[in-house]
Structure 1
Amino acid sequence: MKQYLFVVSALWFLVEGYRVNVNSIDEDDPLILTPYILDGKISEGRKAARVEPFVDGVESYSGFLTVNASSNGNLFFWYFPAENAPKTAPVMIWLQGGPGGSSMVGLLVENGPLQLKNNFQLIKRPTRWSQNIHMIYIDNPFGAGFSFTDPAGIAKTERQISENLYQGLLQFFQLFPELSRNDFFVAGESYAGRYVPALADRIHRGNPDAVTKINMKGLAIGDGVVDPMPSYTQVSTGGENDDDAIIALLNSYLRRDDVQEQIHVNGMPFEALNNYILATVDYFDRDTKVTPWVEELLNHYRVLYYHGKDDPRLNYTDTVKFAEKLVWNGFEKYRSAKWTEWTVKGADAGNLKTGGNLAVLLVNNARHMVPIFQPERSLAMINKFVRGEPLM
């Protein structure tokens, strides 16, 4: 009961801080959904969040969740329900890297149901992860994509970032309570190799006393930053010549008035990659290691690291070495396991090592951002992972 009172009082403070209530919401303003949640007007909030489909057959909801009133901090999400068996399908949050990258990159360029073409047309992606998974794309941290805050609210550590995300998820599951008991996974790539374990750790620590418990089953990290930390230049550049084109495409499209109106972000600035966050985030905080988080999480949940063998930004050998050094209740099984060939539809697709709750997958003919280069194999991988099936 104490946790419930805390959540309600926090939401009341958030709304009072904005001096906003459901009856005063202006349709021409960005859609902040927290007032609906506070007032218990869940059906009205969901109706307001519904996105008029860009493509036939693609249902979605979007809006902002206020998670830090003192700094005017709001996280933008875009949620796509699972197409198949939605009542029991797992739920996944997707976090982009950067730091400062918008999760609209993952949505529109990598694994989402909407694929943005160079002519600014959207098509239904054949290899969309939302076929069998409820996908939540959240711009994170504040300042990335559409998510916003006052300057004082810029998060500088993974702890701050994960707390904001956790509070956002608690509100999301109040808005969509039918999903709260479904299996839940945290996923992301690149610098999200730090975000993902930090958020999973926050969920793990929060669940015992939480009224809204998140049924977390695992985490998946693609081409991720691991310990020891790579150089700033290695992560922020790394020889990916297509980055500028992707950023320019997304910025041009998501700044359009008609698009912004459709996804309820009217008049908001958008940055696919926020250079201010790149310069501000406490990137060189060497005292914050992901290893303790990952080791504790491995005692309770499935963990998948997948990495493109041809990644010029973050070498897959760093992931391999990191995994070998992890210590948890199943580490002996992992260390004694052999690398095997990973096949998809009978074709050689990479190499796999599994033991206990840990799996490390090296994907052939893939660079940084694996789903761009191997969409079908990425889909096969993630479907098996969330179902708890062997990846072979």
Structure 2
Amino acid sequence: MKIWKRGLIGLLIVALQSCSAQKAEDFKISKLPGVDVSKLAFDQYAGHIEVSPETDGNLFFWMLEQVQPTPKKLIIWLNGGPGCSSMDGMFLENGAYRVNPDLSLTINSAGWQDHATVVFLDQPVGTGFSFVNGDGLMHSMTEVAEHFTTFVDKLMDIFPDLKEQDLYLAGESFAGSYIPYFAHRMISINREQENKYNLKGVAVGNGWISPRHQYEAYFDFAVKHNLLEGKFLDDASKHLNDCRKNLSVDTRIHIDVCEDILGDILDNSKHPEGMKTVCINTYDIRLRNETSPACGAEWPYELTDVKEYLRLPELISGTHSEKQALGWKECSSTVSAALRKDTSASAEQFLPEILEDIKVLLFSGEYDLICNHLGTEYMIGNMTWNGERGFKDAVQQDWTIDGKLVGFYTEERNLSYVLIKDGSHMVPYDKPTETLDMINRFMGVGDNKVNGMSSHIGNQEQEEEENDEPVQENEELESPMDNNDDDDDTSSTLPSGSTLDNNTSEQTEEMDDDGLGVSTKSAGSYGALVILVTFIVVGGCWYRAKTRTQHDGKPSIWQRIIHYFDQRPNGKKTKLRLGDQDETNELDELVIEEPTLFAAETYSDSDDHKPEPSKPKQSSPTAFAIADEDDSDDGFDDFADWDEQDALTTNKDGKDH
């Protein structure tokens, strides 16, 4: 073939590829059932991106563009499973919509799209609206991570503006395994390709990250909340000891015998109610009457409406998801089952390295069982990152919104841990305002306000707001007589969100037209009067003391006080300082009571169902620490070399974690 013919064929191939390349307009959503898209404050895009041509593997995404113009942020949100759709996030948690019983949509006031472009991604292939040929399902976390970065690359080719935006990976539950793998891969690529990904942080809520700590926490959390008793407590104790033996040689993300501990807790909770058996909700232990054996798989209860909405023909065409022929399903058991032979180690191994480069946010709802906060705290307390083990000097701080306590923050060395009061496994579902404020803080946006309410962590931010007020020098202060009546109506206001208690409000000074208190302007006069009165009182007391001693020879109270201070060691007088109080570390409220991971103080030595304890070490306490890494006989060094085997327990149609 002549050279010019070959060149012509090459040009034709390039032209065809250009014509077939996906463009942003191809994904634009112009119509959705139940809402007038034209009246929304944000644009949105959805559809499939191919990540594996060999197996026809396509990932589905739904993207909401950021409402506020600056600063530009990008969040990729992942739900767990494995195999559960991120449409849970879109319609039940931090997305833009809530589905009503009549299948109309209501705008979620706590959606995350105000300060960030949010991409809700169905992955791995075969999850939700995503699809793949039968032999193309994922079998390892490494494969899943490769598909994820392929998706991100193609997404940014289609929407090039996203490349410059600060990128955050966020998710919940089994995403606690996905996200560290994804972040580790992206950071590794950045070191080879000059910061290809503008990754700034990762956030994981109630994540399944560290099996060796979180399986242990099943038992401890259940005992703490009285979820185990009698035979079931005995069974759970046995399964816990069997679990420890397996964990000493196995690093798999799921261990069958360890999952039996959760089964014991559920069996303990089962009881008849009418014609059915009910049990506790594994995602919110406050819910005690869930239908067995689902035990929470049908929760949140709005899920029924969401399923019906996502299967509407108008929704499928509006989101360009027609290629997925089977219809939307919340959790895919086939995706979960395909990962049973995964030899990948647990994701906790990557956290120390990730924390060297970017910020990490771990948050937990108070009442989740399946990925409970104790397990996260155990992991933090036993993890070494950036030169220290656990939280070293961090102080737990109250987190308030509109003056109400909503949780607790602990932050140090790039790691933030947030415990959210009254939260469940799906914290953005039952605590939407709190999680919106939390993610905004993590990204450095929002100005300490959320939905018109002020939010604070500790007292620092309130003090900063107060100090932001301009300070006038003394020579510029005017006396009340120098005040001129101006037309300007100025007043002094409290910092936004600040509140006054009853005592403070009673002491509030009357403000003049310049916004300065009258008592402030007349401070000189009052000061002189106070000095004069003090001088008279002190002089009178001295004279009386001297006279009394001369008359009866007994020292007066005044003399006794002077004598006390004169007799102090080295002649030094005690310095009394405002704020000399008990400075107990607030982290003590969150430090786990058990001295080591494998011992619970709840049981006596004679207790038949007491778990076999490991040997406690004598060392200084570390926040959340429950075992010492230098224990050569017991503890976590036993798990240094893990041999992956074939096991992955799936419960409730793949909705495991």
Normalised to the residue count of structure 1, the TM-score between the two structures is 0.84
Question: What SS does the corresponding residue of 1:323 show, helix, strand or coil?
Answer: helix
2-structure distance, mates of 1:136, 1:204: 20
Residue matched to 2:164: 181
Which of 169, 172, 182 is the aligned partner of 2:155? Answer: 172
Residue matched to 1:341: 398
Q: Which moved more, 1:237-246 or 1:364-373?
A: 237-246
1:317 matched to 2:302? The reply is no
1-structure distance, mates of 2:181, 2:28: 30
Structure 1's 131 and 188: CA in aligned 2 closer, same or farther, altered over 3 A? same
CA-to-partner distance for each residue in 1:74-95, whole Å, 9 max, x for gaps? Answer: 1111111100025x32101000
**Offset at residue 283 of structure 1 (A):** 7.5
2:51 and 2:147 in contact (8 A); partners too: yes
**Offset at residue 242 of structure 1 (A):** 4.3
CA-to-partner distance for each residue in 1:262-305, whole Å, 9 max, x for gaps? Answer: 000126221111122233323774x5121221110001100000
1:63 matched to 2:67? The reply is no
Q: Which moved more, 1:223-232 or 1:111-120?
A: 223-232
Question: What SS does the corresponding residue of 2:410 show, helix, strand or coil?
Answer: strand
Residue matched to 2:514: none
**Offset at residue 336 of structure 1 (A):** 2.9
Which letter maps to 2:26?
A
Question: What SS does the corresponding residue of 1:62 show, helix, strand or coil?
Answer: strand
Residue matched to 2:309: 253
2:383 and 2:389 in contact (8 A); partners too: no
Residue matched to 2:415: 358
Q: Which moved more, 1:168-177 or 1:224-233?
A: 224-233
CA-to-partner distance for each residue in 1:331-374, whole Å, 9 max, x for gaps? Answer: 35833323222222221111221111001111001111101111
Which letter maps to 1:351?
F
2-structure distance, mates of 1:150, 1:247: 27
1:305 matched to 2:288? The reply is no
Residue matched to 2:139: 156
Which letter maps to 1:282?
R
Residue matched to 1:288: 345
**Offset at residue 376 of structure 1 (A):** 0.7
**Offset at residue 161 of structure 1 (A):** 0.8
Structure 1's 323 and 271: CA in aligned 2 closer, same or farther, altered over 3 A? same
Which letter maps to 1:150?
N
1:62 and 1:264 in contact (8 A); partners too: yes
Q: Which moved more, 1:199-208 or 1:73-82?
A: 199-208
Which of 315, 321, 335 is the aligned partner of 1:277? Answer: 335
1:222 matched to 2:278? The reply is no
Q: Which moved more, 1:349-358 or 1:185-194?
A: 349-358
Which of structures 1 and 2 has the bigger CA Rg? 2
Which letter maps to 1:274?
S
Structure 1's 289 and 74: CA in aligned 2 closer, same or farther, altered over 3 A? same
1:342 and 1:349 in contact (8 A); partners too: yes
Residue matched to 1:108: 91
Structure 2 unaligned residues grouped into runs of 5+: 1-12, 216-257, 267-280, 283-294, 449-455, 458-657
Q: Which moved more, 1:308-317 or 1:129-138?
A: 308-317
**Offset at residue 217 of structure 1 (A):** 0.6
Structure 1's 216 and 328: CA in aligned 2 closer, same or farther, altered over 3 A? same
2-structure distance, mates of 1:311, 1:73: 34
2:189 and 2:195 in contact (8 A); partners too: no
**Offset at residue 116 of structure 1 (A):** 1.8
2-structure distance, mates of 1:21, 1:108: 36
2-structure distance, mates of 1:52, 1:293: 41
**Offset at residue 212 of structure 1 (A):** 8.0
Which letter maps to 2:154?
Q
2-structure distance, mates of 1:145, 1:186: 19
Which letter maps to 1:100?
G
1-structure distance, mates of 2:259, 2:119: 28
2-structure distance, mates of 1:333, 1:276: 38
2-structure distance, mates of 1:147, 1:366: 30
2-structure distance, mates of 1:348, 1:249: 32
Normalised to the residue count of structure 2, the TM-score between the two structures is 0.51
2:383 and 2:390 in contact (8 A); partners too: no
1-structure distance, mates of 2:58, 2:322: 14
1-structure distance, mates of 2:384, 2:107: 42
1-structure distance, mates of 2:194, 2:52: 20
**Offset at residue 240 of structure 1 (A):** 2.6
Which of 14, 18, 21 is the aligned partner of 1:36? Answer: 21
Which letter maps to 1:184?
L
Which letter maps to 2:192?
D
CA-to-partner distance for each residue in 1:101-132, whole Å, 9 max, x for gaps? Answer: 10011011101112222321112110110000
CA-to-partner distance for each residue in 1:139-186, whole Å, 9 max, x for gaps? Answer: 011111011111221112211111101100001111111121111000
2-structure distance, mates of 1:219, 1:124: 26
1-structure distance, mates of 2:134, 2:298: 30
Structure 1 unaligned residues grouped into runs of 5+: 1-14, 24-34, 38-44
Question: What SS does the corresponding residue of 2:385 show, helix, strand or coil?
Answer: coil
Residue matched to 2:385: 328
Which letter maps to 2:67?
E
The alignment of Structure 1 onto Structure 2 pairs a total of residues equal to 355
Residue matched to 1:84: 68
2-structure distance, mates of 1:162, 1:372: 27
2-structure distance, mates of 1:118, 1:140: 28
1-structure distance, mates of 2:146, 2:61: 16
1:170 and 1:212 in contact (8 A); partners too: no
1:250 and 1:272 in contact (8 A); partners too: no
CA-to-partner distance for each residue in 1:5-59, whole Å, 9 max, x for gaps? Answer: xxxxxxxxxx99xxx9676xxxxxxxxxxx425xxxxxxx111110015442141
Question: What SS does the corresponding residue of 1:335 show, helix, strand or coil?
Answer: coil
1:46 matched to 2:24? The reply is yes
Which letter maps to 1:280?
A
Residue matched to 1:202: 185
Residue matched to 2:425: 368
1:217 and 1:301 in contact (8 A); partners too: yes
* Sequence identity percentage: 26
Residue matched to 2:221: none
2-structure distance, mates of 1:260, 1:353: 43
1:133 matched to 2:133? The reply is no
Which of 174, 193, 199 is the aligned partner of 1:191? Answer: 174
2-structure distance, mates of 1:118, 1:62: 24
Structure 1's 283 and 328: CA in aligned 2 closer, same or farther, altered over 3 A? farther
1:324 and 1:335 in contact (8 A); partners too: no
Residue matched to 2:643: none
Structure 1's 98 and 114: CA in aligned 2 closer, same or farther, altered over 3 A? same
